[in-house]
Amino acid sequence: MSANNVLLEVKNLKMHFPIEEGVLFKRKVGDIRAVDGISFDIRQGETMGLVGESGCGKSTTARCIAQLYKPTAGEVLFQGEDLCCATGRQLLQGRMNLQMIFQDPYASLNPRMTAGAIISEPLVIYTKRGLMSMSRKDIEKRVEELMEKVGLSRYFINRYPHEFSGGQRQRIGVARALALNPKLILADEPVSALDVSIQAQILNLLKDLQEEFNLTYLFIAHDLAVIEHISTRVAVMYLGVIVEVSDSRTLYKNPLHPYTRALLSAVPIPDPEVESKRQRIILEGDVPSPDKVRTGCYFYDRCPNAMPDKCRDNIPPLRQIENDHHTACFLYFNP
């Protein structure tokens, strides 16, 4: 791994949310360990896919990177600068290059603002704070340009979010994220709420924009097929930890971790002939609650290949198995 083209580096990131009890005198009785020590990097120009089931900490990771949550521990190095220690102006400057697209296009747009106002808001804020200087005319021109870029007619500039369909709203969200010309976009399930035909439109749009503006994406989704389509590298999360990281082709061809294998085999394929021949690994039980301190492998309770002597009392570290293919499983190395 060459260090010079790394755009973002996450080191041992932890995000624990306290569980409190009592009404007047609150006391802490435990922690939800949403993200429990993850490390990865994102390189310039790539699309890093982050995949996992609900509650595995994907979105929390993205929010920690954008400093919407203050992480409990760990570092988020964006272009070499630790965002966790950054304050005020420094953070504002960092975020200029780091924007988010959210899952729910209904909840992430203010219903009282017009499309134009939503897209121009980042420009207006950064101008007000003196980090940019754009006149009102410039901003208006920039908004129109952005709208055309994401495939919205410029005549929609004075419309309100409820006048748009789900796919068009997501386009507004994309335009807002692009407004400041960021380097990295954190896309948190940007297509999960959309119908398949619209989903394809947005995926194509994101790919085109990436080429045009040389963007880097952290792309979060629970749909493995979507991740396969868009990502160059993929990280699989389970219960707050990363269990496997690899370039996307290798991961899908040769998944190493038992959880990745089960996940891949559970995805239905839209072809009855393939479907009738497939062997499924069906996992027993549910994802356990993340409120316990774990001393063994996080996947131990559900793993079809669990080895009690190794996996119960040792936490497997993420280790490189082949070239650029990392996994955290004792099937491939000894504790």
Partner 1 sequence: MDTEVILQVKDLQTYFNTDDGIVKAVDGISYQLHRGETLGLVGESGCGKSVSCLSVMKLIPSPPGRIVGGQALLDGQDIFRQSPAEVRRIRGGRISMIFQDPMTCLNPFLRISTQMVETIRLHQGLGAAQAKDKAVDMLRLVGIPNPAKRVDAYPHQFSGGMRQRVMIAMALSCNPEILIADEPTTALDVTIQAQILEIIKKLSRELGTAVILITHDLGVVAGMCDNICVMYAGRIVEKAPVNVLYREPKHPYTQGLIKSVPRLDRPGKQRLHSIEGQPPNLIELPDVCAFHPRCEFAMDVCRRKYPPETALDGRMVRCWLYEENK
Residues that bind partner 1 (CB under 8 A): 53-54, 165, 167-168, 195-201, 203-204, 207, 222, 224-226, 228-229, 248-249, 252-253, 262-276, 280, 282-283, 286-287
Query: CB 41 → partner 1: shortest distance, Å?
Result: 22
* 52 closest CA partner among 179, 210, 221, 177: 221
Residue closer to partner 1 by CB (options 1, 196) is 196
Least Å distance between CB 43 and partner 1? 17
Pick the closer one to partner 1 by CB: 73 or 264. 264
Shortest Å distance, C-beta 153 to partner 1: 13
Whole-number minimum distance, CB 269 to partner 1, in Å? 5
Strand arrangement, sheet containing 184-188: 98-101, 184-188, 216-221, 47-51, 233-238, 241-247, 325-327, 319-322
Closer to partner 1 at the Cβ: 149 or 229? 229
Q: What are the tokens at 291?
A: 């409120």
Radius of gyration of the chain (CA): 21
Is 118 or 234 the residue whose CB approaches partner 1 more closely?
A: 234
* CB-CB neighbours of 272 under 10 Å: 8
> Shortest Cβ distance from residue 166 to partner 1 (Å)?
8
CA 16 to chain centre: 18
Closest listed residue to residue 71, CA positions, set 92, 57, 55, 54: 57
**What is the full DSSP assignment across 224-257?**
HHHHHHH-SEEEEEETTEEEEEEEHHHHHHS--S
The β-bridge relationship of strands 81-82 and 241-247 is: unpaired
Nearer to partner 1, 135 or 279 (CB): 279
**Cβ atoms of residues 184 and 98 within 8 Å:** yes
Least distance CB 103 / partner 1 (angstroms): 14
Which residue lies nearer to partner 1 by CB, 134 or 200?
A: 200
